[in-house]
Amino acid sequence: MLKFTTQFAKFGLVGLFNTLVHAVVLFASVEQLSLDPVTGNLMAFLVANMASFIMNSYWTFKAPPQIRRYGKFFAGSLLALGLTLVIAAVFEFLGLHYGLGFLCVIFLVPALNYWMLKRWAFAGH
């Protein structure tokens, strides 16, 4: 149980840090490189995703980074994004405030993403 708690806490800290990475790359892309916000967000997502993979590999799961593992990690990230969008769409469809949907995303998506990555991309670690 302690290993799970420690890993999940590390996973959360890596996620928080890479949210900051995303923000820095986004603002630098838009403000300094004069990219449009969509392209800036794409660049920020890719940089933060790679940083997240490296940090989770070494620190959270203590697993060597591998191309195949990154493919699974990236696919898991896209699935988490898809779940986020589905939740947002459901809350919008139901006429509920988007902030409630965001709260749902905050508590549901990271936990499911951790579980999926632990069982799939980092199985055995």
pLDDT tens profile 81-119: 999 999 999 999 999 999 999 999 999 999 999 999 999
DSSP 61: S
The pLDDT assigned to 2 comes to 77
What is d(CA 121, CA 89) in angstroms, rounded to the nearest whole number? 28
Task: Return mean pLDDT, the chain.
Answer: 95
> Could you tell me which residue, 3 or 119, shows the higher pLDDT?
119
pLDDT tens profile 26-82: 999 999 999 999 999 999 999 999 999 999 999 999 999 999 999 999 999 999 999
Burial, 26: exposed, middle or buried (Cβ in 10 Å; 0-12, 13-18, 19+)? buried
Residue 1, pLDDT > 80, answer: no
- Categorize the per-residue pLDDT at 4 as very low, low, confident or very high, splitting at 50, 70 and 90: confident
Other Cβ atoms within 10 Å of 105 Cβ, number: 19
pTM listed for this prediction: 0.89
Helix count (H) and strand count (E) of the chain?
4, 0
